[in-house]
Every structure is written in structure tokens, then in C-alpha cells.
A = this chain, B = another copy of it.
Amino acid sequence: MTTETSTPAAAAAPEHPGDYVHGYSRTEARRLGDQADTLAELLHAGTAYPAGSQVLEAGCGVGAQTVHLLAASPGVRLTAADLSADSLALARTRVAAQAPAADVIWHHGDLHRLPFPDGSFDHVFLCFVLEHLPDPTAGLAALRRVLRPGGTITVIEGDHGSALFHPESPAARRTVDHLVRLQARAGGDGLLGRRLQPLLTAAGFARVSVRPRTVYADDSRPALVEGFTRRTFVAMVEAVRAEALAAGLTTPEDFDRGVTELRRAAEPGGTFHYTFFKAVAVRP
């Protein structure tokens, strides 16, 4: 069962969808799907809500995490919210295919102005969302409002500063830094993972517990090299090429050299390391 709601103001004038650093293309949607499948076990382990719980996924995007959330928590009553109608449509299609029996309300709107009463949800989940917000503390505070006292919030974020690759390469490092810089220009923070604990504390949550979830891929794990190093991380960096050039951050030669050298981490003898941060906290 799926139903749909929308916040009229947000639907009419989405606040900053054009600022989403990774764009909204179909290739991007596929990338996010690959990423989620490879990482699902790592990121979702430990997150399971009781059947009947009222759960909000804030910023569900194309549903890449939604299907894993539903698989780990059968019987929850999920509200999946996103600012982009196009993403929501893809998420609906994905959930219809992978979790047809799930009980989902699709909400088109801004997580800062959700039209739900205080304390509506038992649990809130968001993954790769805060990194795109100009004021993540304000976003978290808005989510705290709709969470019931004693309810939990689970937040997963990456941190591009944790990307370690072998062979090391200054050109590859510069190219990764372009992604961080573009995200900062769009009002986000590609290095947000490391500050989840102070952000949740500042937003009024209690019992904040943050743990790193680290991906490491080398020749001994070819599926992870393909699924994560190449199809997730390198693909994410490659995807900002046009934007990095338009912003005058780099030249085509320099950008392409960085990507070529970054790709060596996915070739024989290469290695790649990346840390996600997963936080769980409680509304007091």
C-alpha cells in the first residue's frame, strides 16, 4: 500500500533542489541504487524497528535506502519524504518492485516544514541528507519536533576526507577536493560525518552515539572494488566533472587525470578506504 501527501508550499517552490550537488539524472539514480545495495549490510546493520512503529524517512531520494529499511523492519508504517517529486516517483517504483507489501506514505515536501503534529513518529531515519543542508542543526531540530519523546533518530553520513586510496596521488586528491568544494558552494558539507555527534547534541538530542562504519576494498574483495570503489566513489567524483569545469575549479586535463589516477585504486594492487558515520540518538 502506498499513499501520497505533499506540502503545498514546498511542492510549489522547492527550496534548493537545483543545489543537490550530485544532480538528478537517471545515471545518478542508478549510481545511488548500486551504492545502496553494496553498502546495505554495512549501513543498515543494527537498525530494525518493531512492526507497527511509525517511522519517518526524511530525504528518501530515489528510495535507495528505503528498500533496505523496509527489508530490515517488516510491518513498520513508513512515511518517506523528499523535496524532489521526480526522486519520489523513482522511489515509489523501486519500493513497488522490491517491497510491494510495504505500508508507505509518500510525502512530497521539505523536511524543515513537515506538516505532521509534534511527536508523530516513533523513529526517524535519514541517510546522506544532512550533507546537503545549509543548516543541518536546523534540519535536525525540525525532525526532533515530529519525533515523540523517547523516540530515536538514526543518521548516516559519509565524510570525503576519509577517502584513502593506494596508489596515493595528488591529482586524485585534488579531484576529490573539487567535489567537497562544490558541495560547500551549494551550501552543503562533504565532510559532515565527523561532526554528527556535536550536530545532534546541538539540535537537542540525548544519548548520542556515533560509530564509524568503514568500507575497505582491495584485490581480495572484487565485488566491493567494483560496487563501491568504482561504481560508487569514482562514479560520484566523475559525475561532478561538468560542474567543476563550469565553476572554473579545474581544467579538463587535470580533472580527467585525477579520475584516471583515482581509478587505479580499483585496479590490481590498488586499495580504497572510506568511512561512513552512523549516529543513533534519542529525543529527550
Contact = CB atoms under 8 A, between A and B. Distances in A.
Interface stretch (A23-31, A96-104, A162-170): A162-170
Interface in A201-218: 201, 208-212, 214, 216, 218
Contact of A212 (B161, B168, B273): B273
Given A191-B168, A198-B271, A275-B273, A218 B210 contact: yes
A216 B278 CA distance: 12
A82 to B, nearest CB: 28
B195 A271 contact: yes
Contacts of A269: 198, 201
A84 interface: no
How many chain A residues sit at the interface, stated as a range, is 20 to 34
Contact of A220 (B166, B197, B214, B219): B197
Contacts of A77: none
Say how many copies of this protein the assembly contains: 2
Contacts of A165: 194
Contacts of A277: 216
Contacts of A159: 164, 273
A273 B164 contact: no
Nearest to A265: B194
Contacts of A191: 164, 168
Nearest to A189: B168
A222 B208 CA distance: 14
A164 B166 contact: no
6 contacts: A166-B194, A166-B198, A168-B194, A197-B218, A198-B218, A201-B269
Interface of A: 159, 161-162, 164-166, 168, 191, 193-195, 197-198, 201, 208-212, 214, 216, 218-220, 269-271, 273, 275, 277
